[in-house]
C-alpha cells in the first residue's frame, strides 16, 4: 500500500497546501526533507512535485525544487488552497490539463468549476466533450440551449445562462439561470447542447450564492427551518454541519440545542431529520413536523 493510500485525505490535502505555501514563499525544497516532515515515503513527495505540481514548471537545481521567478509570491492564501486542491484531485476534471492550470495562475481568471467533496462520478467520452463545451460557455458568458431528461420526459431549455460546473457529493451539476431563476441540472441528463452567440452579463450575487451553499438545492428565496436537538444527538451537530447552512442559535441547559438552517426546499433537510428521529424535532415552519409524522405513519402502514 502506498503512502498516499494509507494517508487520510485531509492529511494529503494539508501536505499539498503546505508544499505549495513553501514554494510560493521562495523556499528551495529537498524531497527527502519533505518526506521526513510529512511522514511519507520519498516517492509520494516526488509525485507531488513532478506530477501533481507539473503545471508550475518548477525549477530543479542540485536536487531541490523551487518556484519559477515569474510565479514567485504570486499566490495569496486562497489561491494556494485552490491550486493545491486542484493538484490533488485532477482526476475530477476531464479538461484539467497543465496548460489550463497555468492559465488560471497567469491570467487569474475565475474558475468555471466548483467542487464540494472528494468523490466523483466517471464521465463518458461524450460527456467529456459536453463538459468542455459547458466550461467554455461559462468562461465566455454565452447563453446555451439543450434538452434535459426529467421524470415526465425530455424538456427543452432555451436562453439558459451557465454559471458553474459544480461537483457535489460526487455528482456533476450545471448551475445556471433559467428564466431568471437559479437552478441545478445533472450533467448526465443534458443532451443536444447548443452554445449560442448571445452574451449575458453575469450576476455576481450568483457566484456568492454558489460558494456559500452547502448543498445543490439552488433557490435564491430561502426557507428558514428551526430544529430542536436533544443532548444525545447534539454533540454530532456541534462537531460538523449535518444540515445545510446550519447555525447553532442556542445551547440548552439539558445539553441540547436549537439549530436553524436556511434551505431552498424542505427536502434538503427532511432526510436528516428522519435519520435522527427521535432526537430531533422541527419547531418551525409550523406544521412541518406534523406533516412529516403523517408521511412516516402512512409509509409504515402501507
Q: 136-187 pLDDT, tens per residue?
A: 899 899 999 999 998 889 999 999 999 998 877 667 889 999 998 889 899 9
Provide the pLDDT for residue 105. 61
Q: pTM to 2 decimals?
A: 0.48
Mean confidence (pLDDT) of the chain:
81
Q: Are 236 and 242 in contact (CB under 8 A)?
A: yes
Q: How confident is the model at residue 296, as a pLDDT? A: 87
CA dihedral 134, 140, 144, 150 (to 10 degrees): 40
pLDDT level of residue 244 (50, 70, 90 thresholds): confident
Contact 84, 11 (CB under 8 A): no
pLDDT value at 260 more than 90: yes
- In angstroms, rounded to a whole number, what is the distance separating the alpha carbons of residues 282 and 280? 7
pLDDT at 97 over 90: no
What pLDDT does 114 receive?
65
pLDDT at residue 202 in the model: 92
How far apart are alpha carbons 115 and 196 in whole angstroms? Answer: 26
106 has a pLDDT exceeding 80? no
Half-sphere exposure of 22 (CA within 13 A, CB side): 20
pLDDT the model gives residue 298: 85
Amino acid at each position: 500500500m502506498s503512502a498516499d493510500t494509507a494517508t487520510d485525505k485531509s492529511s494529503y490535502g494539508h501536505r499539498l497546501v503546505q508544499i505549495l505555501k513553501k514554494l510560493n514563499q521562495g523556499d528551495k525544497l529537498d524531497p527527502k526533507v519533505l518526506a521526513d516532515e510529512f511522514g511519507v515515503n520519498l516517492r509520494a513527495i516526488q509525485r507531488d512535485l513532478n506530477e501533481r505540481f507539473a503545471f508550475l514548471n518548477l525549477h530543479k537545481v542540485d536536487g531541490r525544487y523551487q518556484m519559477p521567478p515569474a510565479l514567485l509570491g504570486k499566490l495569496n492564501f486562497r489561491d494556494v488552497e485552490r491550486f493545491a486542491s486542484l493538484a490533488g484531485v485532477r482526476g475530477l476534471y476531464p479538461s484539467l490539463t497543465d496548460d489550463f492550470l497555468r492559465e488560471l495562475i497567469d491570467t487569474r481568471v475565475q474558475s468555471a468549476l466548483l467542487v464540494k467533496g472528494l468523490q466523483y462520478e466517471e464521465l463518458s467520452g461524450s460527456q467529456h466533450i459536453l463538459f468542455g463545451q459547458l466550461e467554455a460557455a461559462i468562461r465566455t458568458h454565452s447563453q446555451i440551449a439543450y434538452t434535459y431528461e426529467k421524470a415526465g420526459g425530455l424538456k427543452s431549455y432555451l436562453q439558459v445562462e451557465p454559471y458553474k460546473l459544480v461537483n457535489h457529493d460526487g455528482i456533476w451539476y450545471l448551475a445556471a439561470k433559467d428564466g431568471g431563476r437559479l437552478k441545478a441540472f445533472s450533467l448526465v441528463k443534458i443532451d443536444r447542447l447548443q452554445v449560442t452567440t448571445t452574451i449575458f452579463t453575469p450576476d455576481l450575487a450568483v457566484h456568492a450564492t454558489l460558494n456559500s451553499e452547502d448543498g445543490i438545492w439552488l433557490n435564491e428565496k430561502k426557507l428558514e427551518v428551526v430544529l430542536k436537538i436533544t443532548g444525545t444527538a447534539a454533540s454530532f451537530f456541534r462537531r460538523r454541519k449535518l444540515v445545510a447552512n446550519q447555525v447553532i442559535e442556542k445551547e440548552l441547559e439539558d445539553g441540547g440545542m436549537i439549530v436553524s438552517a436556511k434551505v431552498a426546499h424542505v427536502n434538503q433537510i427532511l432526510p436528516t431529520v428522519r435519520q435522527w428521529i427521535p432526537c430531533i424535532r422541527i419547531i418551525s415552519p409550523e406544521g412541518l413536523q406534523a406533516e412529516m409524522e403523517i408521511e412516516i405513519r402512512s409509509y409504515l402502514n402501507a
